[in-house]
Amino acid sequence: RPLGVDNLIGGDAVQKRGIAEIIGRLEGYIREQGGEAGSAVVIKSILLEFLFNLNRLSKKSKSSSRQDGQVKDIIVYINENITSELNLDIIADNFFMNKYHLCHIFKEQTGFTVNKYITYKRILLARELYAAGRTLTQASVEAGFGNYSNFYKMYMKETGVPPREGMRQN
């Protein structure tokens, strides 16, 4: 888009999409956790939600409402099945679409890949389970990582610190 065009989002749209609430949650979390190791994952997750909603607001007729609805349904499906086996083939089959089309519309609508979204959601769930008293191994398996080794690799990749260190501080 040209510079200076569509730079303003109306207040009613901000309220309707819950963007103000998301910003409030982000500010609150940053105040509580600051720069502690591992907090980057939660901040990224909140930002993911913010950017997804902001991106949907900024799209005009470029994306059809059908695709918009499909991506919303895909996110709901992922969230409801986060502890189960999830991969592009399973999700694409569930929505009767080609996995390449799935990746394209998801990235176009959210700005993130399907796998990145799944990883963030699983890390957040593992953090909640760990905070509720599960061991790291139990939390990683229950969150859908399959085993601690997979969880460890993904956690390190996303946060840059080992899970034991990052989870202890949050």
Residue 16 has pLDDT above 90, yes or no: no
Q: What's the pLDDT at 165?
A: 87
pLDDT tens digits, one per residue of 136-155: 999 999 999 999 999 999 99
pLDDT tens digits, one per residue of 19-42: 777 777 777 777 777 666 566 777
pLDDT tens digits, one per residue of 108-118: 888 889 999 99
CATH (domain of 31): 1.10.10.60
Residue 53 has pLDDT above 90, yes or no: no
- Give a yes or no: residue 142 inside a domain: yes
- Give a yes or no: residue 105 inside a domain: yes
Find which of 49-53, 60-64, 109-113 is predicted with most confidence, using mean pLDDT. Answer: 109-113
Q: What's the pLDDT at 63?
A: 47
User: What is the number of other CB atoms lying within 10 angstroms of the CB of residue 83?
Assistant: 15
- Give a yes or no: residue 161 inside a domain: yes
Query: Measured in Å, how far apart are the chain's first and last C-alpha atoms?
Result: 40
pLDDT tens digits, one per residue of 86-101: 999 999 999 999 999 9
Burial code (b: 16+ CB inside 10 Å, e: under 16) for 118-140 equals bbbbbbbbbbebbeeebebeebb
- Give a yes or no: residue 64 inside a domain: yes
Residue 21's domain comprises: 11-168
Number of domains in the chain: 1
- Give a yes or no: residue 55 inside a domain: yes
- Give a yes or no: residue 132 inside a domain: yes
User: What is the number of other CB atoms lying within 10 angstroms of the CB of residue 73?
Assistant: 12
Supply the mean pLDDT for the chain.
Answer: 81
Question: Hey, what are 24's tokens?
Answer: 């409030």
- Give a yes or no: residue 6 inside a domain: no
DSSP string, the chain: --TTSS----HHHHHHHTHHHHHHHHHHHHHHHTT-TTHHHHHHHHHHHHHHHHHHHH--TTS-HHHHHHHHHHHHHHHHTTTS---HHHHHHHTTS-HHHHHHHHHHHHSS-HHHHHHHHHHHHHHHHHHTT--HHHHHHHTT-SSHHHHHHHHHHHHSS-HHHHHHT-
Q: What's the pLDDT at 35?
A: 60
Q: What's the pLDDT at 9?
A: 60
Amino acid at 67: Q
- Give a yes or no: residue 3 inside a domain: no
137: CB partners within 8 A, 6+ apart? 147, 148
Q: What's the pLDDT at 133?
A: 93
Whole-number Å distance between alpha carbons of 163 and 110: 27
